[in-house]
Structures are given as structure tokens and as C-alpha cells.
Amino acid sequence: MIESPSPRSRALRVTGVTRSFAGVHALTDVSLAVEPGTVLGLIGPNGAGKSTLVNIISGYDLPDSGHVMLDGVDITKAKPHVRARNGLARTFQHGHLFSGLSVRENIVVTAMGTGQSHRAAVATAEGLLDSFGLRGRASHAARSLPHGVERLVGVARALACNPSYVLLDEPAAGLNEGEIGEFSDRIRELRDRGLGVLLIDHNVRLILEVCDRIHVLVEGKTLIEGTPDEVRNSDELVEAYLGRSGSVHR
Ligand code: ADP
Ligand code: MG
């Protein structure tokens, strides 16, 4: 299903993606690209279509039209596990850990699910436990974790398949200020290692701090894409978030 990539187009690229659910236009003609070694922020009010886009990029949903390209290969119709084996990983907005398994086991099982041997998966897990400061929690059951730790394990798990690109759907939701600072550091490390990161979050400080570019969706359409400075200073953004009613959506 996956052909060999054309070397010139290293990026995770979405072109002209449109998706409706029974008359609700969740996404209309959305295009964006995540390049290796960069962080693209994806922001917008609730219902803007952010999670729908992540589902389409990761293969949990299909667009009505448009394409998803992974390093030059059309993966629009590839299954999620095929995408994962080809270097595309995601987190889920709501947990999705195996609650009865330990932190270590959650990472090992995910790594094995992408084709690693048990031995390789354990080595992957040990490395991620260290880099995410999770060693002290390694044998704790996922169901017993405080919220902030659970989010970190979700990200560590996404990285278990050694991805080239990672999609993070509100990974920092519910973290406290200190945890968000550490989380920003982890994201910068991923970028510095050459990963392409798509980061969805409502925490504007986090987004402005770690993103190289920011893509703003409103009601399924692209409002603006630019650098943090360009987006912060745009009148459209203020209008989109304040709306006609003057109340801030989240
Ligand atoms: P966001 O993540 O930006 O909050 P979503 O992508 O979850 O937005 O939702 C975008 C729109 O699509 C919303 O109006 C939502 O109700 C609708 N939607 C998303 N998924 C489905 C689905 N599976 N069935 C019906 N409507 C959906
Ligand atoms: Mg969402």
C-alpha cells in the first residue's frame, strides 16, 4: 500500500481536505504542512475541526476530498497502523492508555504493535521512561496516575514507534504551570531531534512559546497561518476568538 517516497518532499502535507458529518462542515479545503524539525501549532475554538483533521491525518477517519502525503507518499487511505509503521504517531485528546497495564507496559505494548521485537520494545520504553522523567512511575498502573503524568505517558507512548512526525491533540490539557514548562522543553527536544510536530492546545502561552508556525482554524476553515508574531498581531484572530458576542470560546 505504501510506495517508496519521492525524496524531495520531506513533510507531512495535507492538501485541500474537506470533511462533513451529516451536513456539518467540519473541514473545508484545509491545507497545511508539517516539516521535519519544526513545530506547527493548530489552534481554533471548540468545534473548529482540529480533532477531525488529526483523525484524518492519522487514518482514523477519511476525508470526503483532499489528500494526506507522508514524505511524498499519498497515505490518504492507509490504515492507522500502516501510517504508524511509516513514521506517523499521534496522541488522543482523551487518554486512551491501557488502564490495567503499567506505564512501562503501556509503552512496550505500543512499540511492539508497530513491529518492534519484545527486546527492542523494552529498550525503547526504558529510553522514553528516562527522557520523560517517568522512571519512578514505571511500574504504576496507568489507572492510578495523576492527570499530568497520564498526559506525559500518552506522549511517550506516541513516540514508542520512533516516529518522524507526531500529532499531539491537546497533550497539555489540565497540566499546571510547572508541568507545562517541562512539557515545552520536551517538545523542543523532539524538534531538535528532527521530528515534525503538530501541536493542538488551548494554552496560548505554550503555543506561542514552542511553535515555529501557527495555523488557525475557525468553523472548519483556515483563518490564517503564520509565525507566532504574525498570528498574535492579527486582527482576524482576535475577532475569531472574541466573536460577535464578545465572549471568549475555548
Ligand atoms: P475541535 O477538535 O476543533 O474541537 P472537532 O474536529 O472535534 O473540533 O469537531 C468539528 C465539528 O465536527 C464539530 O461540529 C463536531 O461536532 C463535528 N464532528 C466531529 N466528529 C464528528 C462525528 N464523528 N460525527 C458527527 N459530527 C462530528
Ligand atoms: Mg478536539
* pLDDT for the residue numbered 235: 82
- Which ligand ends up closest to the CA of 52? 1
Q: How far is the CA of 114 from the centre of ligand 2 (A)?
A: 25
Q: Enter the C-alpha cell of residue 59.
A: 487514518
Cβ atoms within 10 Å of 137's Cβ, excluding its own:
21
Query: Is the Cβ atom of 52 under 6 angstroms away from ligand 1?
Result: yes
Q: How far is the CA of 55 from the centre of ligand 1 (A)?
A: 10
* pLDDT for the residue numbered 247: 44
* pLDDT for the residue numbered 176: 86
Q: CA distances (Å), 167 to each of 19, 90, 126, 203, in order?
A: 19, 4, 22, 16
12: confidence class by pLDDT, cuts 50, 70, 90: very high
Exposed / middle / buried, residue 53 (Cβ in 10 Å: 0-12, 13-18, 19+): buried
- If you average pLDDT over residues 198-220, what whole number do you get? 94
Distance separating alpha carbons of residues 50 and 36, to the nearest angstrom: 21
* Contacts of the segment 177-185: beta carbons below 8 A, 24+ positions apart: 179/148, 180/205, 180/206, 182/133, 183/151, 183/152, 184/209, 184/210
- If you average pLDDT over residues 53-60, what whole number do you get? 96
Q: What is the mean pLDDT of the chain?
A: 89
- Segment among 195-199, 218-222, 243-247 with least mean pLDDT: 243-247
Q: Enter the C-alpha cell of residue 200.
A: 493542538
Q: Whose CA is nearest to atom 14 of ligand 1?
A: 47
- If you average pLDDT over residues 152-160, what whole number do you get? 91
Would the pLDDT of 117 be above 80? Answer: yes
- Segment among 47-61, 119-133, 165-179 with least mean pLDDT: 165-179
Would the pLDDT of 223 be above 70? Answer: yes
Query: Alpha helices of the chain — where are they, by DSSP H?
Result: 50-58, 80-85, 103-113, 118-131, 147-158, 177-192, 204-210, 228-232, 235-242
- If you average pLDDT over residues 236-247, what whole number do you get? 61
Distance separating alpha carbons of residues 103 and 142, to the nearest angstrom: 6
Torsion angles phi and psi, residue 86, rounded to 5: -100, 15
Strand bridging mode 24-34 / 221-226? unpaired
Would the pLDDT of 31 be above 60? Answer: yes
State the Rg of the chain over Cα. Answer: 18
* pLDDT for the residue numbered 28: 98
- The secondary structure element, H or E, covering residue 42 is strand 39-43
Would the pLDDT of 248 be above 50? Answer: no
Would the pLDDT of 8 be above 80? Answer: no
Cα torsion 152, 153, 154, 158 to 10°: value is 110
Tens-place pLDDT, residues 167-189:
999 888 888 888 888 889 989 99
Nearest to 193 by CA among 37, 43, 15: 37
Tens-place pLDDT, residues 57-83:
999 999 999 999 999 999 999 999 899
Q: Ligand 1, from 30, 52, 167: best to mutate by most atoms within 8 Å of Cβ?
A: 52
* pLDDT for the residue numbered 95: 64
Could you tell me which residue, 28 or 232, shows the higher pLDDT?
28
Which ligand 1 atom sits closest to the C-alpha of 217? 3
